């Protein structure tokens, strides 16, 4: 059995000295000696202040003085907290005074090393121990894995949720590095280390990715790592992991279902439109034939009702297709095709003239500062103008419709062009103004009976104007009854004098009245007219030649590609009265050929012949400088109308 | 449109032209109105020289094009397949060979890496080639059918 003195000296685990009332050392522990690299002979009988000063021990004399004075004045144990100790070891002192009555007999002084790693571990455990409420809460949570890591990332605590989620028992995982939960790729990329670095810098890091369980299976995890700091010292990290596998699976099911339904919708629309368009075209072409025969006035009127309804139906189908493309975001706008606003407006006026009601005048006014050419999407621009003008025509029984285009703004690279359509029609009631541009609305339910349409037109215009960097709006006609619709569009600038010259065109508002016997009229016109036919497929070429011959055209030249057509036009610019141009041809296609012919300054009417009769394709032909189009297979009646438009 | 109305419209075409032609039943592979337009161009109904030359010219063109399509399919040349589809679409449309035309249009679209309608993109090249392969088989059958009908019509 060792003496108490000896036991104190050898076995006290905490570095300790026993001082008398004058602070001279009367006992010292082996651990204190080891800590300060001292021998017991150097300490015993020496004043503690002298020892600390002479050997520059930690903590410094100031801390020593504080702890001793406080302990003695309060007659109780006093500990300096580690952040009060300024040195890098974060050492704290604990002093226990021993009094008899009021007389101080001894002071027991202990040196606590807060910097040692095992102390920090204890701190974490202390924290959890001291807060039983939190510990119980954390331990009983089963849906979340909540656990602590030490500063190096080794697992320190493990709750029930962690055990359930990751499959490890506490004794299997505590002490292991948390990278055990990560996949091989993440470990190769040093993701665990980077996460801790970010966490140290930002205080917190959140991640959503795959993690692995004990059995090797993976789950989609949401992980939040938070830096834990206690009294200014970083003691580790808390980690909360949630299993989102179910949610992710549900999300992907929803996404898949949405994609499937969007695909079905698109397929349904495409199929339906195709299925409706095909018989509709058959019906409309048969009707055209019917209308060219001799009919009684009553029959002719009924026929024209069918014709009108049929073309409205066609418009509706085209609108629905456009709308579905716009709403799915699949609509793209070009920004680099040359746009001539004056010629687009002329072309709209020309196409809409026949629909004007008697007593309605259609006029255009273009500001002088309006650029003749710019860069943008001519077919979309035209579509908006066409739609607004067609609306005005539809709702105006008498008076006038004016199209006014002006330059609203100009900067170094772009023009903002404002186009207004002013009518003296029935106008729009105030209540309807708010929903004017919403899809599937017509401003007055009762109007639906009189004015046919999908109610999609203005909604499409709005989307298009916005896609062109502009806006669309409405206000009542300030002068009289009627409406003013306007839209703006941003068009790019380009500077080729040539192009400008080519595209500056005069406005002509030519009125064409419907002609009952177009065949006879064309046969009258045909002799003496010269036609250039550009068509690469010899079957189509032969049929066209025969058809033209049948119509009385004797002077037809044929070329088999666009380059030859340009060559003919170059050699003899004024020779041909009309050019019939296939679109898809070898060497140079119909669009390229048209562009080159226009660049030569040749303004011979060019009629596109195409099997791609989509509305947007046609508008792009017009934008390239073509004047008209005839769908393939070429219907003689349609061809006759084109000849009447361009040869008379 | 009800069948009777359509027939009346067609009858009217025939009646309105000099020398009405009597057409055999060409089946639903051939659009009567379009094909009739070609027949109207014949000077004499008896020999049908013009339309015969067109139709037999088409046979030759179609067979050559199918051969080129087979080659292009081997080369996996989608652009060439699309272009050939477009080419044959033009002449088959002119003759009113509806089914052949529709299939050629599909080949044109698949070759552009689109869906059947040419509306949605199909980024999978192998899938496009697979579809073209199937459509090419179908269009050859459709062609064989109209070829038989037309050869019978021209009595050869």
A607: left (phi over 0), alpha (psi -120 to 50) or beta: beta
CA–CA distance, A76 with A67 (Å, rounded to integer): 11
The pLDDT, as a whole number, for residue A602 is 84
Pick the more confident residue, A610 or A566: A566
Within-domain flag for B4: no
At B70, the pLDDT band (50, 70, 90 cuts) reads: very high
Would the pLDDT of A138 be above 50? yes
Look at B33 and A286 and tell me if their CB atoms are within 8 Å: yes
Pick the more confident residue, A120 or A225: A225
Would the pLDDT of A202 be above 60? yes
Would the pLDDT of A122 be above 70? no
The pLDDT, as a whole number, for residue B20 is 38
Share of chain A above pLDDT 90, in %: 9
At B135, the pLDDT band (50, 70, 90 cuts) reads: very high
Would the pLDDT of B41 be above 50? yes
**Would the CA dihedral through B18, A306, B105, B31 be positive or negative?**
negative
Would the pLDDT of A48 be above 70? yes
Mean of the per-residue pLDDT values of chain B: 82
At B14, the pLDDT band (50, 70, 90 cuts) reads: very low
CA–CA distance, A148 with A159 (Å, rounded to integer): 9
The pLDDT, as a whole number, for residue A549 is 87
Would the pLDDT of A385 be above 50? yes
Most A-contacting residue of B11, B50, B53, B91 (CB-CB within 10 A), to test interface: B91
Nearest chain A CA: its distance from B88 CA (Å): 8
Region A626-648: mean pLDDT is: 84
The pLDDT, as a whole number, for residue B17 is 40
3-state class (DSSP) for residue A182 = coil
Would the pLDDT of A199 be above 80? yes
3-state class (DSSP) for residue A504 = coil
The pLDDT, as a whole number, for residue A443 is 52
At A87, the pLDDT band (50, 70, 90 cuts) reads: very low
Nearest chain B CA: its distance from A294 CA (Å): 10
Q: Which residues contact A647 (CB under 8 A, 6 or more apart)?
A: A522, A525, A529, A577, A578, A605
Nearest chain B CA: its distance from A521 CA (Å): 17
At B12, the pLDDT band (50, 70, 90 cuts) reads: very low
The pLDDT, as a whole number, for residue A335 is 79
The pLDDT, as a whole number, for residue A502 is 38
- The fold of A332-503 is Heat Shock Protein 90 (3.30.565)
Nearest chain B CA: its distance from A425 CA (Å): 35
Paired tokens of A335? 């920004």
Render A539-594 in DSSP notation, one character per residue.
Answer: HHHHHHHHHHHHHT--EEEEESSHHHHHHHHHH-TTS-SEEEEESS-SSS-HHHHH
Say whether A332-503 and A4-113 share the same fold. no
Look at B119 and A270 and tell me if their CB atoms are within 8 Å: yes
Cβ neighbour number for residue A528 with a 10 Å cutoff: 10
- pLDDT tens, residue by residue, A148-196: 888 888 898 888 888 888 888 888 888 888 988 898 888 888 888 888 8
Mean of the per-residue pLDDT values of chain A: 80
Q: Which residues of B touch A539 (CB under 8 A)?
A: 54, 57-58, 61, 90-91, 94-95
Question: Pick from B1, B34, B37: which is nearest to A283 by CB?
Answer: B1
Q: Which residues on adjacent β-strands are paired with residue A110?
A: A16, A94
Cβ neighbour number for residue A416 with a 10 Å cutoff: 18
HSE, CB side, 13 Å, CA atoms: give it for residue A336.
0
Within-domain flag for B52: yes
A182: left (phi over 0), alpha (psi -120 to 50) or beta: beta
Task: Give the count of domains, chain B.
Answer: 1
The pLDDT, as a whole number, for residue B3 is 46
Paired tokens of B137? 């088989």
Domain span holding position B136: 31-153
The CATH classification number of A257-325 equals 1.10.287.130
At A580, the pLDDT band (50, 70, 90 cuts) reads: very high
Question: Pick from B6, B83, B90: which is nearest to A611 by CB?
Answer: B90
A167: left (phi over 0), alpha (psi -120 to 50) or beta: left
Q: Which of A197-206, A344-353, A436-445, A493-502 has the lowest mean pLDDT?
A: A493-502
The pLDDT, as a whole number, for residue A288 is 82
Most A-contacting residue of B15, B86, B93 (CB-CB within 10 A), to test interface: B93
> Residue A287 in contact with residue B6, Cβ under 8 Å?
no
ipTM of the complex: 0.73
CA–CA distance, A366 with A417 (Å, rounded to integer): 11
The candidate with the shortest Cα–Cα distance to B31, out of A631, A306, A286, is A286
Most B-contacting residue of A584, A633, A635, A638 (CB-CB within 10 A), to test interface: A633
- pLDDT tens, residue by residue, A251-298: 889 998 888 887 777 677 767 776 777 788 788 888 888 888 888 989
Within-domain flag for B21: no
Within-domain flag for B134: yes
Region B50-74: mean pLDDT is: 92
- Superfamily classification of domain A118-243: PAS domain (3.30.450.20)
The candidate with the shortest Cα–Cα distance to A8, out of A110, A124, A117, is A110
- CATH number of the domain bearing residue B103: 1.20.120.160
At A422, the pLDDT band (50, 70, 90 cuts) reads: very high
Nearest chain B CA: its distance from A453 CA (Å): 22
At B118, the pLDDT band (50, 70, 90 cuts) reads: confident
Question: Pick from A547, A584, A611: which is nearest to B41 by CB?
Answer: A547
- The fold of A518-647 is Rossmann fold (3.40.50)
Burial zone of A524 (CB within 10 Å; 0-12 exposed, 13-18 middle, 19+ buried):
exposed
Question: Pick from A266, A271, A584: which is nearest to B120 by CB?
Answer: A266
> Residue B78 in contact with residue B113, Cβ under 8 Å?
yes
CA-based nearest residue in chain A for residue B86: A584
Pick the more confident residue, B107 or A648: B107
- pLDDT tens, residue by residue, A446-483: 444 445 566 778 888 988 998 898 999 988 888 878 89
Within-domain flag for B16: no
The pLDDT, as a whole number, for residue B18 is 38
At A58, the pLDDT band (50, 70, 90 cuts) reads: low
The 8-class DSSP code of residue B30 comes to S
The pLDDT, as a whole number, for residue A186 is 87
Q: Which of A236-245, A380-389, A412-421, B6-15 has the lowest mean pLDDT?
A: B6-15
Would the pLDDT of A358 be above 80? yes
Q: Which residues of B touch A533 (CB under 8 A)?
A: none
- Burial of A353-364, coded b for 16+ CB within 10 Å and e otherwise, reads eeeeeeebebeb
Region B112-126: mean pLDDT is: 86
Q: Which residues on adjacent β-strands are paired with residue A242?
A: A144, A222
At A513, the pLDDT band (50, 70, 90 cuts) reads: very low
Within-domain flag for B10: no
- Within its chain, how far is the Cα of A530 from the centroid? 53
- The residue extents of the domains of chain A are 4-113, 118-243, 257-325, 332-503, 518-647
The pLDDT, as a whole number, for residue B5 is 45
Pick the more confident residue, A32 or B146: B146
The pLDDT, as a whole number, for residue A613 is 57
Burial zone of A68 (CB within 10 Å; 0-12 exposed, 13-18 middle, 19+ buried):
buried
The pLDDT, as a whole number, for residue A583 is 86
Region B83-106: mean pLDDT is: 91
Q: Which residues of B touch A283 (CB under 8 A)?
A: 1
The 8-class DSSP code of residue A179 comes to G
The CATH classification number of A4-113 equals 3.30.450.20
Which residue in this structure is represented by tokens 């009627």?
A482
CA–CA distance, A581 with A564 (Å, rounded to integer): 11
């Amino acid at each position: 059995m060792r003496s108490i003195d000896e036991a104190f000296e050898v076995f006290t685990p905490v570095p300790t000295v026993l001082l008398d009332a004058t602070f001279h050392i009367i006992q010292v522990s082996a651990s204190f000696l080891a800590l300060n690299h001292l021998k017991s002979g150097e300490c015993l009988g020496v004043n503690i202040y002298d020892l600390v000063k002479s050997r520059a021990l930690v903590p410094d004399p100031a801390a020593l003085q504080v702890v001793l004075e406080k302990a003695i004045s309060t007659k109780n144990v006093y500990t300096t907290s580690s952040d009060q100790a300024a040195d890098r070891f974060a050492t704290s002192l604990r002093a226990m005074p021993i009094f008899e009555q009021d007389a101080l007999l001894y002071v027991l002084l202990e040196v606590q090393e807060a910097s040692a790693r095992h102390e920090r571990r204890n701190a974490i455990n202390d924290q959890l121990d001291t807060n039983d409420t939190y510990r119980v809460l954390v331990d009983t949570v089963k849906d979340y894995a909540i656990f602590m890591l030490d500063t190096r990332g080794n697992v320190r605590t493990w709750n029930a949720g962690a055990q359930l989620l990751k499959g490890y028992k506490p004794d299997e995982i505590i002490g292991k590095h948390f990278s055990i939960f990560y996949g091989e790729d993440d470990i190769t990329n040093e993701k665990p280390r980077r996460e801790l670095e970010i966490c140290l810098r930002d205080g917190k890091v959140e991640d959503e990715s795959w993690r692995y369980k004990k059995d090797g299976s993976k789950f989609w995890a949401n992980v939040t790592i938070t830096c834990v700091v206690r009294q200014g010292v970083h003691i580790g990290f808390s980690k909360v992991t949630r299993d989102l596998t179910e949610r992710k699976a549900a999300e992907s099911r929803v996404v898949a279902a949405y994609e499937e339904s969007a695909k079905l919708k698109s397929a349904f629309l495409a199929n339906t439109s195709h299925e409706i368009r095909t018989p509709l075209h058959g019906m409309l072409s048969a009707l055209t034939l019917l209308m060219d025969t001799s009919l009684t006035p009553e029959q002719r009127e009924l026929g024209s009702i069918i014709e009108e309804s049929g073309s409205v139906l066609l418009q509706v189908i085209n609108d629905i297709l456009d709308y579905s493309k716009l709403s799915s975001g699949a609509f793209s706008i070009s920004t680099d095709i040359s746009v001539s606003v004056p010629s687009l407006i002329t072309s709209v006026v020309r196409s809409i003239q026949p629909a004007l009601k008697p007593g309605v005048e259609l006029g255009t006014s273009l500001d002088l500062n309006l650029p003749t050419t710019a860069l943008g999407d001519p077919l979309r621009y035209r579509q908006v103008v066409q739609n607004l003008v067609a609306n005005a025509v539809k709702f105006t029984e008498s008076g006038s419709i004016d199209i006014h285009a002006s330059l609203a703004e100009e900067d170094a690279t772009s023009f903002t062009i404002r186009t207004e359509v002013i009518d003296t029609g029935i106008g729009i009631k105030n209540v309807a103004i708010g929903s004017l541009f919403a899809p599937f609305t017509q401003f007055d339910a009762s109007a639906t009976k009189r004015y046919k349409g999908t109610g999609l037109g203005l909604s499409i215009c709005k989307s298009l104007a916005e896609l062109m960097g502009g806006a669309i709006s409405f206000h009542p006609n300030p002068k009289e009854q009627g409406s003013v619709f306007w839209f703006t569009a941003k068009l790019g600038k380009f500077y080729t004098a040539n192009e400008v010259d080519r595209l500056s065109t005069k406005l002509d508002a030519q009125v064409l009245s419907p002609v009952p016997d177009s065949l006879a009229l064309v046969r009258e016109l045909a002799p003496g007219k010269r036609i250039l036919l550009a068509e690469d497929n010899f079957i189509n070429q032969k049929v066209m030649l025969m058809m033209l011959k049948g119509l009385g055209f004797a002077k037809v030249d044929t070329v088999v590609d666009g380059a030859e057509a340009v060559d003919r036009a170059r050699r003899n610019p004024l020779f041909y009265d009309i050019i019939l141009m296939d679109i898809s041809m070898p060497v140079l296609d119909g669009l390229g050929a048209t562009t080159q012919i226009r660049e030569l300054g040749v303004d011979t009417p060019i009629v596109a012949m195409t099997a791609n009769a989509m509305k947007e394709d046609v508008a792009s032909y017009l934008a390239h400088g073509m004047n008209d189009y005839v769908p393939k297979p070429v219907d003689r009646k349609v061809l006759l109308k084109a000849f009447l438009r361009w040869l008379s | 449109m009800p069948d009777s109305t359509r027939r009346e419209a067609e009858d009217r075409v025939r009646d309105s032209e000099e020398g009405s032609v009597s057409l055999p039943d060409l089946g639903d592979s051939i659009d009567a109105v379009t094909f009739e337009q070609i027949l109207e161009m014949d000077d004499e109904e008896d020999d049908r020289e013009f339309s015969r030359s067109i139709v037999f010219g088409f046979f030759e063109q179609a067979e050559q094009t199918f051969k080129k399509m087979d080659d292009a399919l081997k080369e996996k040349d989608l652009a060439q397949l699309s272009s050939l589809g477009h080419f044959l679409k033009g002449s088959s449309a002119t003759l009113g060979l509806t089914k052949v035309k529709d299939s050629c249009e599909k080949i044109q679209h698949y070759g552009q890496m689109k869906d059947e309608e040419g509306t949605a993109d199909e980024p999978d090249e192998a899938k496009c080639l697979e579809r073209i392969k199937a459509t090419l088989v179908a269009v050859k059958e459709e062609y064989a059918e109209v070829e038989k009908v037309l050869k019978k019509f021209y009595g050869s």
